[in-house]
Each structure stands twice: as C-alpha cells, then as structure tokens.
Structure 1
Amino acid sequence: MTNALDLYHRAARIPVLGRGAFSLVFALKAPYFLTIAPSLVEMRPNHAEVRVRKWWGVHNHIGTVHVIAIANGMEMAMGALAEASIPAHLRWIPKGMQLEYLAMSDSTMTATADTDPADWTGPGEVAVRVQSTRTDGTVTVRGIITLHVSERPSAQPADA
C-alpha cells in the first residue's frame, strides 16, 4: 500500500473530518486544486472519486460549473488513483489530457478516474479514463489523461 493510500485509509476512519482533512492536504500538493474546493470521496487502486461542489467560485458565464473546474477535479481524481495504484519502483507525471464536453454541468459534480491493474506493470504510458457526472447520473465530460510512467531513480550515495 502506498503512503498516500495508507494515510487516506487512516483519515477515513475519523467521521466527517477525516476525509475533509485528507482532501485539503492532498489538494495542497498541487495548490491549484484548492480553487475548486474539492472533496476526495474515494481512493483505491485503479479508482478515485472527487466531488466538485457547484458554487459561484466555479461558475462560468451561464451559471454552470466551468469545464476547467471539472478538469481540475478529474486531474485530482487521476492523481489520487495514480498514487494509490503505482508500484513503489515507478513514478508518474501527466503527459496530456483529451476531453469531450457532453452536457451542461449544472449540479455538484463527481469526477472519477479509472484504470486496470495491468496498466501499472512497468514503464510506459498509462491512459487514465476520467469522467464527470451530475447528481442525476448524466455524464457531462469524459476523456483520457495520459501519464508517462518511468522507473524511479535509485538513491545515489552522497560523496564523502
């Protein structure tokens, strides 16, 4: 189990405040996530969910949730999934994102990220499937976030 996933499980044991505190700390790793006031709802290998609440701070000019706010939620879900899924000898970095806008995002949104266990067997590219869903179940944005996965550099001994 990764350090982030272990911390998530420990935080989730604290009713109400645990996941909220973990969401805040996780979002601080990439502070732009804080612009959407995210809640990490679920984090496990090959799946993560982030809630993006509909409030004026994420609205576009027509009063719906701005697609870039949704993309932030999907990227946070992808990051949580990657941290929960990647083997200790590998590391990841986003390489690209492709999104389709399918419907208006006019409620609180749930951004999800999914992969298959076989995606994490070694270096290369991982295509993380992401989508955003309204409270009525309608998928509003769907896409792929491509990750570059490489070997973690081995620790070099310090010169004496």
Structure 2
Amino acid sequence: MSDNYLLKLYHQCLKYPFGRTIFSRMFARKAPYFATIKPTITELKPNYCELRFKKRKAVQNHIGTVHAIALCNGLEMAMGALAEASIPKHLRWIPKGMTVQYTAKADSDIRIIAECSAASWQAGDSAICVRGLRADGQVVIEGTITIYISEKPSQKSS
C-alpha cells in the first residue's frame, strides 16, 4: 500500500461499516462547502477519484436540476482528493483556475470523476480532467481544473 497519508486514511476507513461515508465527511471538512452536496468518495487511488452525490432539494435550481455550483463543488472536491492522494511528498499544489462546460441537464444523482496521468506531478501548471455524469451515464459537466505545483520550501533546522 502507498505511504500517502490520504490513501492510508481512506483504506483504514474502508475497514469499518460506512467507511466511505466516514472518510468522505472527514475529507469534506477540509473545505466546508464540499459538505453542502453530501458527497461520498467511492474510489480513490493515485491519479483518480470518483465521488457521488444525490439529487435532492438542497442542490437543485429553479428548474429542478442539480445546480451549477453543486456540480462544480463536486468537481473541485474530487480533484482535491486526487491531488492529495497523488502528489509526491516534496511538492505542493494550489488551484489556479477552472473551466467547465455544461453539456446536459443534471436531472438525477451525480457521479463525478477526476483523473490525470502520473506525469502530471511536476512543478508548473497541471491540468486535471474532471467530469460529472448523471445516472444514465450522460456527461452533464466536463472541464479542466488547473493547479499550480511547486516544490515545498526546505525545512530549516533550529
């Protein structure tokens, strides 16, 4: 198993009943707006994250579909989990931009996927591919989240 702290925590949580829910709630606390969609991370491995959330009144817009910001929250959470589970220990990341296209009505529960290649983890800008699908497999949102990757500052000993 990986020595990555987030992957270790994920696999530890999977040993318990409702482990994915427990892990997802803990991770959602990193950015409290993630919790607004009540997501569950269903798969997490280096360079890949998948999460799901239910279509419910709190994430619907005036026409009864999942609203754009709920979809974007899902994309950003999946990308963040992917980044934390994948980035080498000597690097750090910060989001720099997000470009999305809404491609169909989000009229069901949503599955979000974030993925990238192993070669993405080097200093500079890196594009993480993100997409959201409704229950029938139709893509409802797709895009790219650009993150800036840099070396961690060296630790000075005192």
TM-score, scaled to structure 2 = 0.96
Aligned partners of 1:9, 1:27: CA distance in 2, in Å? 17
C-alpha deviation, 1:107, in angstroms: 0.4
Distance in 1, matches of 2:153 and 2:126, equals 19
SS in structure 2 opposite 1:24? helix
Q: CA RMSD in A?
A: 0.8
Corresponding residue number in structure 2 for 1:34: 35
Q: CA deviation at 1:10?
A: 1.1
1:76-115 matches, within 5 Å, as 76-115=77-116
1:157 CA displacement: 2.4
2:144 is aligned with what amino acid?
A: I
Report the Cα distance in structure 2 between the residues aligned to 1:36 and 1:153, rounded to whole angstroms: 34
Instruction: Answer whether contact 1:52 1:70 (CA < 8 A) is retained.
Output: no
Q: Which residue of 2 aligns with 1:152?
A: 152
- 2:118 maps to what in 1? 117
Structure 1 residues 108-142: Cα deviation after superposition (integer angstroms, max 9, x where no partner): 0011101001111x211110000000110000000
Cα shift readout 1:70-97 (whole Å, capped 9, x = no counterpart): 1000100001110111000000110000
2:10 equivalent in structure 1: 8
Question: What are the ranges of 5 or more consecutive residues in structure 2 without an aligned counterpart?
Answer: none
Distance in 1 between the 2:50 and 2:68 partners? 17
8 A Cα contact 1:109 1:135, kept in partner: yes
**Distance apart, 1:154 and its partner CA:** 1.5
Distance 2:91 2:66 in 1: 35
| 2:101 maps to 1:71 | no
The reply on whether 1:139 has 2:139 as its aligned counterpart is: yes
Runs of 4+ in 1 over 6 A off after TM superposition: none
Task: Specify the SS of the correspondent of 1:105.
Answer: coil
Aligned to 2:149, what secondary structure does the other structure show? strand
Amino acid at match of 2:61: N
**1:13: Cα distance to partner?**
2.1
1:56 alignment partner in structure 2: 57
The 3-state SS of whatever aligns with 2:155 is coil
User: Per the alignment, in what secondary structure is the counterpart of residue 146 of structure 2?
Assistant: strand
* SS of residue paired to 1:129: strand
Amino acid at match of 1:63: G
Rounded to whole Å, the distance in 2 between the matches of 1:56 and 1:75 is 21
Q: Give unmatched runs, 5+ long, in structure 1.
A: none
